[in-house]
Amino acid sequence: MAWPEIIGIYQQGTIVRMRLGDCLPDHGFMAALSGSSVPQPNQACPEYTLVADKVIYLIVGRPSRDVLPLAQTVDFRLRKNEIAVRLDDARREVRFMVREMVLRAEWEHRRDAQDHMPGAPRFEMPMLRSD
């Protein structure tokens, strides 16, 4: 097996949003997608939107840890049902659980449709645009 296959190929993405949300148990994103995961009670975890070339990831950290800078490009890779993020060429990776994944084209379509709806409530922080 070649070295890149063992460690995983890094992709690049940009962190465009952060909010506090419900924590996920450490059962992986398949359990979260199937609805069998139960959030941890009375805890808030950082939830980030990571924009990559083709896929948008909604990732969740652990309580009071794993803080990522907004509007910064990060290196990341998929690792055992998680996303491992490496900042500033650091040797250590920070792992995040995946709450949701959506194709970038669908995400941009939803965002643009929401922008054109007069009087629609905005519950998101402004998104970075590459337009």
Mean pLDDT by 10 residues, the chain (131 residues): 56 92 68 53 84 92 76 87 80 86 87 72 49 47
In DSSP notation, 42-96 reads T-EEEEEEEE-SSEEEEEE--TT-----TT-EEEEEEETTEEEEE-TT-SS-EEE
In this prediction the pTM is 0.69
Q: What pLDDT is stored for residue 80 in this prediction?
A: 76
Q: Please report the sign of the dihedral spanned by the C-alpha atoms of residue 131, residue 15, residue 108, residue 114.
A: negative
Reference 11, options 69, 54, 61; nearest CA is 54
For the chain, the structural domain boundaries read 3-115
> What gap in Å lies between CA 67 and CA 64, rounded to an integer?
8
> What gap in Å lies between CA 19 and CA 95, rounded to an integer?
17
Q: What pLDDT is stored for residue 31 in this prediction?
A: 54
